[in-house]
Amino acid sequence: MCGRTSLYAPREVVVERFDARPTRPLRPRYNVAPGQEHAVVRNDADDEIRFPTWGLVPRWADEFGGGHINARAETIAEKPSFRDAYEQRRCLVLADGFYDWKETPLGRQPYRFELADADPFAMAGLWERWSGPDGEDRTSFTVVTTEPNDVVADVHHRMPVVLAPDEERRWLHGDERECAAVLDTYPGDEMRAYPVSKRVNDPANDSPAVVEAVVPDEDAQTGLDEFG
């Protein structure tokens, strides 16, 4: 699963990394939640960074909202909500980390996941266009998920499809075989995870403090003052 993400790398780093320019100012985001707009590169404009709403709303939905924040890689070619988008409307969801929550005896402890070098990366996504009865035109996206690697598995049973750089163009513009081939699990030895403050639970908390490492509650209760 992917329930929160971030992208606070400097604008020039993001532009160079993805060879795309934002269509509006790209401000640092430390705690992006579903229902908010976020940076993506779409397959119909791969030189631009656009900002659709997180939570894919199918074209036939009566209203815009409450969309699908994740789509399982195993079923996106079949599910009516995702099938057409998988064929025609794929995107890169830009990030430098994502969050998930581990169930513990003391409650849900949030963890942050990022690449070992902390560089920005792309998650596989799908985007969709929705038109309202008054002619309103809005776009949304979802993050594709797969089986977890050994870093994520200790926290959650799903993780985003993190694309290697050489897989990104294939995901955007490849045929069905090429797209299916990149929907795999990112190597665990190229990622790291650490516990963060429960500040991340509230989307209103969108500051550097959200990404700082903390001693998880379960360790704090034992008097430990450091963690692995």
The CATH number of residue 154's host domain is 3.90.1680.10
Q: Is residue 173 part of a domain?
A: yes
For the four alpha carbons of 144, 150, 153 and 155, in that order, the dihedral sign comes to: negative
Q: Per the structure, how many domains does the chain have?
A: 1
Q: Is residue 228 part of a domain?
A: no
Type of residue numbered 201 = N
CA-wise closest residue to 203 among 86, 76, 69: 69
- pLDDT of the chain along its 228 residues, tens only? 688 999 999 999 999 999 999 999 999 999 999 999 999 999 999 999 999 999 999 999 989 988 999 999 999 999 999 999 999 999 999 999 999 999 999 899 999 999 999 999 999 999 999 998 887 899 999 999 999 999 999 999 999 999 999 999 999 999 999 999 999 999 999 999 999 999 999 999 999 999 999 998 765 554 444 444
Range of the domain at 122: 4-220
Q: Is residue 73 part of a domain?
A: yes
Other beta carbons within 10 angstroms of residue 184's beta carbon come to: 16
- Rounded to whole angstroms, the Cα distance separating 217 from 161 reads 29
Residue 150 near residue 134, CB atoms below 8 Å? no
- Residue 98's SS3 state is strand
Type of residue numbered 212 = E
pLDDT for position 228 = 42
Q: Is residue 188 part of a domain?
A: yes
